[in-house]
Amino acid sequence: MIETGFPTGGPTLRELGERDVIKRIRAQAPSAVNGDDAAVLAPPTPNSRVVAATDMLVQGRHFTSDTSTPYFVGRKAALQNFADIEAMGARPIAALLAVSAHPDMPVVVMEEIARGVGDMASDYACELVGGDVTSGDELVLSVTAIGALGGNRPPLTLAGARPGHRVIAHGRIGYSAAGLALLQAGVAVPPALEPLVAAHQVPQLTPGRGVVARAAGACSMTDNSDGLIRDISQIAEVSGVGIDLASNALTPDALLREAGELLHIDPWEWVLGGGEDHTLVGTIEGSAPVGFRSIGTVSRKQGVRIDGAEPATARGWESF
């Protein structure tokens, strides 16, 4: 069953005040190190480096009450930052949450957002350790993820792809965009297609896959947040290489095809330009690590191609 909508009624942020709102946030995502001026984190492993990432979600721009719930928004906000940490080959160890909201917003909305962030953090064996709340005209979330990069291997940056590498991916591609299209179409979503909606509301990423890839010898990585062609073009451009994708490794599956038929949309648009799946995409010299699959190769001829031809679309998310 698809869930959308934001709660109404009950005490508001204005009625409770900042201190009580923060207490309610902490109650939804408890942490022993949350509650002071700043959180003090112990080094998770010897010889580790700190990795940090932050993203914002703005109501009306990145989510609406028609397409999500506060709990799902919280989980998604955390996941998209954890995906950035994973894409460096690191593991998340803590999260910070800052929220700007209208004073008349019911406090239950804030509690559900915090619960979503806290539950996603728990999935990654880390905690929500602090943040901030303030008054504003729009609901805006900013999650900062802190990660640990262990060992002596270099991080998985955009600059590590080399000719001869295999292009690898972990996670679904195109599901989130298809789910959003279904929600926005105003049609009755068949139960069989509900996994697409779920993939948009809370994308799935197996914790630890970035660490596994780095340990297996991966050399570059990013996550599919803005669209596959757009994001993989970043690796090609920064590394000064070309990337040749294989269409048979990206062909829309039965769910995507069924959604495409229902909405009269070519599902390849979702695969190539959709984004927000937060699929890990990278390159490696040898075989694909456990949990990853091969989707192409790296060449000397710059640019991104599919079966040797220009992609049908390079459209993706644009912030401005």
Residue ranges of the annotated binding site are: 37, 54-55, 62, 84, 131-132, 223, 225-226, 276, 317
**Binding-site sequence positions for Mg(2+):** 37, 54-55, 84, 132, 223, 226
**Binding-site sequence positions for ATP:** 131-132, 225
Q: Tell me if residue 184 falls in helix, strand or coil.
A: helix
**Binding-site sequence positions for substrate:** 62, 276, 317
Cα 238 to Cα 56: distance, rounded to the nearest angstrom:
24
Q: Are 68 and 201 contacting, i.e. CB atoms less than 8 angstroms apart?
A: yes
The distance of Cα 121 from the centroid of its chain, to the nearest Å, equals: 13
Q: Are 275 and 177 contacting, i.e. CB atoms less than 8 angstroms apart?
A: yes
